[in-house]
Structure 1
């Protein structure tokens, strides 16, 4: 296995390479309307009244950034890929209450107790040192602050998703989707095999680690409203993709 330093650089290079077409792969762009509303609802319910100081980790091309910023919060959007940040900055040029930060989500270097909320989408499974990252996120939250995680188990289909996965595999064989291939190809697989959560990110693994970092009051938030909204705005291939993996939303709190 390569050293973590090499893995971090491989992750940075891979997502930088994908930045120009990232929004074209299913699950990355958030369609306006029902899907955007569904993604934003947990933020409305749990971040607290605006304006809160919110740190978005691994902001990528700035899709989630738009949702949390539109709720009226003061947002810092962080990513360690300069190529991803360039796309996000272009999308959000000139907006007030928004700054972009080139930094590592696993070691933010932000001041202690400086944020009311931290949120991330599809980041946790990529962490090379999750325990250190969770401790860092706990440190930068103010007492009573919230951590909101959107993620899933991308290592294997859910039991209920195996048929959908099989149908999609045949579909891809007959009519390849180039953007999906980029998202789930060999380079992606090589990175996943070397990650701590490479064999699967589950709530059963994640929750004790967050508790060990000091978080409490862990709460599961249904992901189904997002999947249902995605099925309303996508074709059949992407509708099937909403059924393959176990996806979840988790809220944790810093005591205060």
Structure 2
């Protein structure tokens, strides 16, 4: 599953890098978000499958696990390496690196739990290993499904958080004293980032050059915000809510 998810993300990133700007003027950046959803769904169902397999092991009365010192040592080394890689991916912060970091984090949790439950199953209760597998896989599956549910609303146009909207409003208000008021503000996600639609009201006697020199730098300023992909600023002379 790790290889499959890595392949999905690599394909999405390659398609983004090879986007035809004629047919896709704004690129294919949202493919990364779609790849994240595909990987999250795959990993969620994979963990559901492992939990079902553990249930079958309990029903079939599968023999208790045998854990050697060599196996434990290998698992510990893998756990440490995956923990370090997970931290590096979280620091990068892109949607694709976050999903890889989640996968690595879950691997760390799975391996630590596997060592503990396998040791308990080897020495005390043979049902500890499959029961531990059911608990951990269920928790990880719920985590992946939650990630899917968190990433669907931005793809279908959810409004941004109040704190982000407040930052935009403050930036507009402080931009130029000739902006009398805001007639229309709409800020919503079009993927990982947001689209900003603004109607600013200014004196109708201002020349076109002046209104352009106010609105265009405002667009550029808005697009420098880390959560904004595109901004459109429309100039108006009356506040009619249109």
TM value normalised by structure 2: 0.23
Q: Which of structures 1 and 2 has the larger relative contact order (alpha carbons within 8 angstroms, sep 6+)? A: 1
Whose radius of gyration is greater, 1 or 2? 2
